[in-house]
Amino acid sequence: MAETVKLTIDGKEVVAPKGMNLIEAAKLVGIEVPHYCYHPKLTIAGNCRMCLVDTGMPKLDKDKKPELGPDGKPVIMFAPKLAIGCNTTVAEGMVVHTRTPKVQKAREGVMEFLLINHPLDCPICDQAGECRLQEFSVDYGKGESRFVEEKVHKPKQTKLNAKITLDDERCILCSRCIRFMKEVAGQDCLGFVNRGSYSTLTCYPGQEPKTNYDLNIVDICPVGALTQTDFRFEQRVWFLKETKSVCPNCSTGCNTVLWSREGVVYRQTPRDNDAVNQCWMCDYGRLNFKFINDPTRLTSPSVKSAVYGERVNLTWLEATRQITGKLKAAGTIAGIASGRATTEELFLFKKLVGDLVDIVPHTGEADGKLLQADRNPNTAGAKLTGCATGKLPEILEGIKAGKVKTLIVLGEDLDEELAKKLELLVVIDTLPTKATEHANYVLPGTTFAEKRGTFINGKNRLQRFNAAIPPVGIARPEWQTLTALLGASYAAIEDVFADMARTLPALAGLNLSKIGDLGVELKIEQPAVQPVSQAAEAVAK
Amino acid sequence: MQVQRPKLTFWERTYIPQILKGMWITIRHLPMKKFTRMYPEEKPKLLGDYRGAPTLVKDPEGRVKCVSCQLCEFVCPPKAIRITPGFRADQAFDSNVEKEPKEFEIDMLRCIYCGYCEEVCPEEAIFLKNDFAITGYKREELRFNKQKLLELGGVQPDSIWKWKYKGAPPPGTPIGPVRDGKPVEKKAAGH
Amino acid sequence: MMLELLGHLIKIAAVIGVMLGFVAYTVMLERWACAWMQDRIGPNRVGPFGVLQPLADGLKFIFKEDVLPHHVNKVYFCIAPVVTMIPGLIAMAVIPWGSNLPIAGHVIKGVIADLNVGILFIFAISSLGVYGIVLAGWASNSKYPFLGGIRSSAQMISYEVCLGLSVVPVFMQAGSLNLMKVVEYQAAHTWLVLCQPLSFFIFLVSAFAETNRTPFDLPEAEQELVGGYHTEYSSMKFAMFFLGEYAAMFVQSALMVTLFFGGWSLPFAPFNAPATELWVGAVQIGVFLAKVVCFLFLFIWVRWTIPRFRYDQLMALGWKIFIPLTIVNILLVAVVLALVAK
């Protein structure tokens, strides 16, 4: 246990670890100290001056003992000037005031200066609604400007790079983005030019941010200076519903928030989870959600009709009846599952198909930070449920040789030649592929934004995600489809998980609500599928 | 509670005097002055702050004042407003405004003429005008789109000229101290 | 014989035509009068001063969708408006519109059927009107019409008694049940309203109740029963109830004119005796109609002045006050007549 010190913030006793700054210490007792430049995961710049607080230390007598006043309490000597909370560390016996008139007045002064050259673009600014400047204007703003001179004009609507739009007039020069690029993303490419009122954020000559983590500077920008180009003018944030989710694009499983309105997901942002992604996520994962609202999504069960020679839509009842009948009559059933399916779905898939089952590996290049080589978010889940068996070559050979005549595919594609050799091909997927084209039966599935479920990431962490939007058409979550094909009676995803927790020792005693928003580490005996990368640590350094 | 009933005389109990009195009152009104307004010919005089149909206005230089901040959509109690935000054209004279509604729909069947949209608008782009007889033969006709709303709104005199003087300077303008539109020369050292 | 029949047919056509015209314009008058009493203008859009409004109303009724709710008893539902409408028209057969119309040597009587039991005929026929309303209430198979129908039957049966008893003294004095004779008696002597004011008063009030007009319009009380017995009706079927009500008003007005206000006569020559010249006959018809219009206006005037009675007040008034009063009145008149005869 680290050494702790006792101090008083706004009359509340706080026990904080030594070395903690006052903003964090105040947070421990639920007191918010307003700040712009300070970010817990970045170095301290101390340039916004918003977090000014009044600090005092006990007066010491000759023996270096706190001198007691007439009321028996230590006499506090307050500093003549206010101190910035972000760069002042806690000390034994310290007394901090964050809401006195003196502090209030100082912050009002800071706010007034910050707003002098701010263009007040709020009506056309994408940050409006989640802008720190707006929020603190309410608390410390004057509501009017004493500044009658013309404001300084700086470049507007400029492209920092293809993904990010920069509006220099809105910038309050907090330097969070500069520090992020240097310290976390690892590309020192941003800086300020000119001085005084004309200070301007810009790239180093001939450079632009080109890492896989650039968009995080949009998240940490406290104002609307940096905005995401592909979210620009799409929706106001106050219309968007926030749904806690998990990024399905690699085995890190970054915790995310999906921002949706009326069945459309507009953006994906990282969610704090120090055990997984801290508060960052990679641009690859962040931007890879557009398939959710793809117009070609499969919306209805269908059968390749021998009579009409084309696809005919079916009801779920009819599709289930026909498929279960044919599966019963079939001999060996093989299954190809996806590492992008949820643990619950894989569990049911294994039950439905039996032993001849495997997942398709998807790999890419790991970047040593958050992005993993294993691009399946749930490879560990597939291992756990027995879906990842390494039998994929065997299955494909079997199809080629004509030994495997019945195949169920969950969210993966299949070669045209192979598909044609099968007698019965059932495909559960969200988007049309070669496999759905040749499948006898196509059952529409849902994306991660439309269902609930769990992923187990590369570090064997079980994480839960929620449905942000309703499914398209009459598509329904895969677990429901698989339940129907099994003839099982799970009424809700909780029932599937409960059954899974009974069957799999690693999940014993767990249920969906126990997982919580941040997930739980599983104790799995077998080695993890991929060597666990030191993702979070790498990012933190 | 016990209500004390007044004691009625015999004639009062027959109701006859009261009935006759009532009939006298009604008959007296036959020749009196009539208050009917002959509506379609004779329009009502609307007061200045009358809240009729909401409309979109342009400023005297022809900019669409709305920047699709969607506050009206947010504040609208019956959710009659639907805005699709969009960009101003790159080379247009008003490109410094950046944002403009691609589509702006008010469902006049839903609108309750509360005027919140006018009140909330930070750009003074939406005004409730005097049109009160909003009719149509189809529901679609009463979904006023951006074009229709701008036609109804017309031009509104602008005392602030916010966007005329605001926004990005023309490309190539140096960053740094500017006075009267020209960059200020750096003073020689030691001056 | 043929000529006589033709004459009768023409007379019937004329009476029905004039009466329906009056009914239509009574509606008009009602809308105007109520507007004026409320300081409004009233209908003024169709034709000059809105005089063609009844035509527009009629057209509207004809072209409106005729809704036949699925829960009604279809046969009775369709018959009911007719049953309400017809008695009003039939009752007019015995009411003398004028004395005579001497045309080209022929004397045409101012009444379609000069029955010697005219008043009985009228009571017999007009009491059929309640059937229509009860039928409508019952066949609608819906609670508000049903309540309206029930109220209506109780009300009309109660006031039928008052109505019948109240006119007994009139016939005791006139000495005949033939309405033509009653009018001729008044023409020769004096208007019976002067001799029988109590009879007239009770008859007047009962007439309001019989026609379901305010303050006795409980069967269709909008505030309580939506529309009463005609809630489920639309289009021409509704219009027939509407016309039936105004036709009944016309009949009651005509009856009051005939029984108490000298019918077609005026109290001076040459109008105080059956006409021997065509113009006198024509004027007498006009006089009769003018008197009827006055009563129609009275009906309207009262409607836009007085609020509705409570149901118990209505019944109490009929059974506890009017019936004893009429009986006393009959006895008194009998005594007086006996004394005068001596």
Q: How far is CA A191 from CA A177, A194, A209, A469, B191, in A?
A: 9, 10, 12, 40, 30
Q: Which tens digits make up the pLDDT trace of A439-457?
A: 999 999 999 999 999 999 9
Q: Which residue of B has its CA nearest to C302?
A: B23
Q: What is the model's pLDDT at position C215? A: 84
Give CATH for domain A302-540: 3.40.50.740
The per-residue b/e assignment along A97-129, b for 16 or more CB within 10 angstroms, e otherwise, is bbeeeebeebbeebbeebbebbbbbbbbbbbbb
Q: Is the pLDDT of residue C104 over 90?
A: no
Q: What is the model's pLDDT at position A537? A: 44
Range in A41-55, A279-293, B36-50 with the lowest mean pLDDT: B36-50
Q: How far is CA A426 from CA A355, A480, C266, in A?
A: 17, 15, 102
Topology (CATH level 3) of domain A4-113: Ubiquitin-like (UB roll) (3.10.20)
Q: Tell whether the torsion through CA atoms of B111, B112, B115 and B117 is positive or negative.
A: negative
Give one DSSP letter per residue of A314-382, joined into a string. Answer: --HHHHHHHHHHHHHH-SSEEEEEETTS-HHHHHHHHHHH-SSEEEE--B----SSS--SB--TTHHHH
Our separate counts of H helices and E strands in chain B read 5, 7
CB A302 within 8 A of CB A425: no
Which DSSP state fits C321?
Answer: I
Please state whether at least 3 CB pairs lie below 8 Å between chains C and A. no
Phi, psi angles (nearest 5°) of residue C92? -65, -15
Chains that touch C (3 or more CB pairs under 8 A): B
How far is the alpha carbon of B50 from chain C, nearest alpha carbon, in Å?
26
The average pLDDT across A495-511 equals: 92
Q: Is the pLDDT of residue A96 over 90?
A: yes
Q: What is the model's pLDDT at position B181? A: 55
Q: Is the pLDDT of residue B176 over 80?
A: no
Q: Is the pLDDT of residue A483 over 60?
A: yes
Residues of B whose CB is below 8 A from C306 = 19, 22-23
How far is the alpha carbon of C91 from chain B, nearest alpha carbon, in Å?
30
CB A280 within 8 A of CB A486: no
Is residue C27 one of the residues assigned to a domain? no
High-pLDDT (> 90) share of chain B, %: 44
C39 contacts B33? CB cut-off 8 A? yes
Strand (E) or helix (H) holding A397: helix A392-401
Is residue C292 one of the residues assigned to a domain? yes
Q: Which residue of B has its CA nearest to C301?
A: B23
Q: Which residue of C has its CA nearest to B32?
A: C39
Interface of chain A toward chain B, CB-CB under 8 angstroms: 119, 122-124, 128, 150, 152-157, 169, 193-194, 198, 200, 233-236, 238-239
Q: Which residue has the higher pLDDT, B183 or C23?
A: C23
Q: Which tens digits make up the pLDDT trace of B94-128?
A: 888 889 999 999 999 999 999 999 999 998 899 99
CB atoms closer than 10 angstroms to residue B50: 15
Q: What is the model's pLDDT at position A157? A: 86
Q: Tell whether the torsion through CA atoms of A238, A240, A242 and A248 is positive or negative.
A: negative
Q: Which tens digits make up the pLDDT trace of B24-46?
A: 999 998 888 888 888 888 888 88
Q: Which of helix, strand or coil describes residue A125?
A: coil
How far is the alpha carbon of A129 from chain B, nearest alpha carbon, in Å?
11
Q: How many CB pairs under 8 A join B and C?
A: 36
Q: In total, how many domains does chain C have?
A: 1
Question: pTM of the predicted model, to two decimals?
Answer: 0.76
Q: Is the pLDDT of residue A289 over 50?
A: yes
The per-residue b/e assignment along A458-479, b for 16 or more CB within 10 angstroms, e otherwise, is bbbbbbbbbbbbebbeebbbbb
Query: Taking CA A146 as the corner, what is the angle to CA A142 and CA A147, rounded to the nearest 5 degrees?
Result: 125
Q: Determine contact: B174 vs chain A, CB below 8 A.
A: no
Residues of C whose CB is below 8 A from B23 = 301-302, 305-306
CB atoms closer than 10 angstroms to residue A162: 12
Q: What is the model's pLDDT at position B177? A: 57
Q: Tell me which residue in C40, C41, C305 faces B26 most closely, judged by beta carbons.
A: C305
Distance CA(A54)–CA(B133), nearest Å, equals 62
Residues of B whose CB is below 8 A from C320 = none
Q: Determine contact: B169 vs chain A, CB below 8 A.
A: yes
Residues of C whose CB is below 8 A from B33 = 39
How far is the alpha carbon of B9 from chain C, nearest alpha carbon, in Å?
17
Q: Which of helix, strand or coil describes residue C267?
A: coil
- How far the first Cα of chain A sits from its last, in Å, is 22
Q: Determine contact: C60 vs chain B, CB below 8 A.
A: no
Q: Left if phi > 0, otherwise alpha if psi is -120 to 50, otherwise beta: which for C212?
A: left
Q: Is the pLDDT of residue A526 over 70?
A: no
Distance CA(C16)–CA(A39), nearest Å, equals 96
Q: Determine contact: B25 vs chain C, CB below 8 A.
A: yes
CB C221 within 8 A of CB C174: no
A534: pLDDT confidence band, cut at 50, 70 and 90? very low
Domains of chain A by residue range: 4-113, 302-540
Query: Nearest CA to A371 among A213, A518, A201, A217?
Result: A213
ipTM over the 0.85 cut-off: no
The average pLDDT across C20-48 equals: 88
The per-residue b/e assignment along A496-524, b for 16 or more CB within 10 angstroms, e otherwise, is bbbbbbeebebbeebebeebeebbbebeb
Distance CA(A484)–CA(A252), nearest Å, equals 31
B168: pLDDT confidence band, cut at 50, 70 and 90? low
Pull the structure tokens for residue A37: 């430049």
Maximum mean pLDDT: which of A271-280, B42-51, B177-186, C188-197: A271-280
Residues of B whose CB is below 8 A from C33 = 30
Q: Tell me which residue in C40, C304, C306 faces B19 most closely, judged by beta carbons.
A: C306
How far is the alpha carbon of A167 from chain B, nearest alpha carbon, in Å?
9
Q: Is the pLDDT of residue A378 over 90?
A: yes
Distance CA(C220)–CA(C229), nearest Å, equals 6
- Spell out the alpha helix ranges (H) of A67-147: 101-116, 132-140
Pull the structure tokens for residue B34: 């009539």
Chain C contact probe: residue of B26, B27, B28, B36 with most C CBs at under 10 A: B26
Q: Determine contact: C301 vs chain B, CB below 8 A.
A: yes
Q: Which of helix, strand or coil describes residue C144?
A: helix
Q: How far is CA C246 from CA C42, C93, C96, C287, in A?
A: 19, 17, 19, 20
Q: How many CB pairs under 8 A join A and B?
A: 55
Question: What domain range includes position C110?
Answer: 62-341
Residues of B whose CB is below 8 A from C301 = 23, 26-27
Chain A contact probe: residue of B70, B73, B160, B173 with most A CBs at under 10 A: B70
Q: What is the model's pLDDT at position A536? A: 41
Distance CA(A40)–CA(C262), nearest Å, equals 108
Mean pLDDT of chain A: 90
A529: pLDDT confidence band, cut at 50, 70 and 90? very low
Give one DSSP letter per residue of A221-286, joined into a string. Answer: -SSSSEEEGGGTTT--GGGPEEEEEE--SSTT--EEEEEEETTEEEEEEE--BTTTTBT---HHHH
How far is the alpha carbon of A196 from chain B, nearest alpha carbon, in Å?
10
Q: Which tens digits make up the pLDDT trace of A97-137?
A: 999 999 999 999 999 999 998 988 899 999 999 999 999 99
B33 contacts C302? CB cut-off 8 A? no
Is residue C44 one of the residues assigned to a domain? no
Chain B contact probe: residue of A117, A121, A124, A202 with most B CBs at under 10 A: A124
A235 contacts B175? CB cut-off 8 A? no
C40 contacts B23? CB cut-off 8 A? no
Q: Tell me which residue in C39, C301, C305 faces B32 most closely, judged by beta carbons.
A: C39
Polymer length of chain C = 342
Q: Determine contact: B123 vs chain A, CB below 8 A.
A: yes
Distance CA(A31)–CA(A19), nearest Å, equals 18
Q: Tell me which residue in B122, B175, B176 faces A123 most closely, judged by beta carbons.
A: B122
Q: What is the model's pLDDT at position B68? A: 92
Residues of A whose CB is below 8 A from B85 = 233-235
Pull the structure tokens for residue C45: 């859009």
Q: What is the model's pLDDT at position A351? A: 92
Which DSSP state fits A448?
Answer: T
Q: Determine contact: B149 vs chain A, CB below 8 A.
A: no
Query: Nearest CA to A366 among A537, A527, A535?
Result: A535
Strand (E) or helix (H) holding B111: none
Residue C107, amino acid: V
Q: How far is CA A529 from CA A350, A374, A457, B191, in A?
A: 18, 9, 10, 71
B29 contacts C41? CB cut-off 8 A? no
Distance CA(C225)–CA(A359), nearest Å, equals 72
Report the Cα A512 to chain-centroid distance in Å.
19
A119 contacts B166? CB cut-off 8 A? yes
Q: Determine contact: B39 vs chain C, CB below 8 A.
A: no
Report the Cα A208 to chain-centroid distance in Å.
25
Residue A289, amino acid: F
B30 contacts C37? CB cut-off 8 A? yes
Q: What is the model's pLDDT at position B156? A: 87
Polymer length of chain A = 541
Residues of B whose CB is below 8 A from C36 = 29-32, 34
- How far the first Cα of chain B sits from its last, in Å, is 97
Q: Which tens digits make up the pLDDT trace of A390-441?
A: 899 999 999 999 888 999 999 999 888 888 889 999 999 999 999 998 899 9
Query: Nearest CA to C125 among C149, C95, C100?
Result: C95
- HSE, side-chain direction, 13 A CA sphere, residue A148: 0
High-pLDDT (> 90) share of chain C, %: 10
Q: Determine contact: B167 vs chain A, CB below 8 A.
A: yes
Range in A87-96, A201-210, A334-343, B38-47 with the lowest mean pLDDT: B38-47
Chains that touch A (3 or more CB pairs under 8 A): B
Polymer length of chain B = 191
Residues of B whose CB is below 8 A from A169 = 168
B22 contacts C305? CB cut-off 8 A? yes
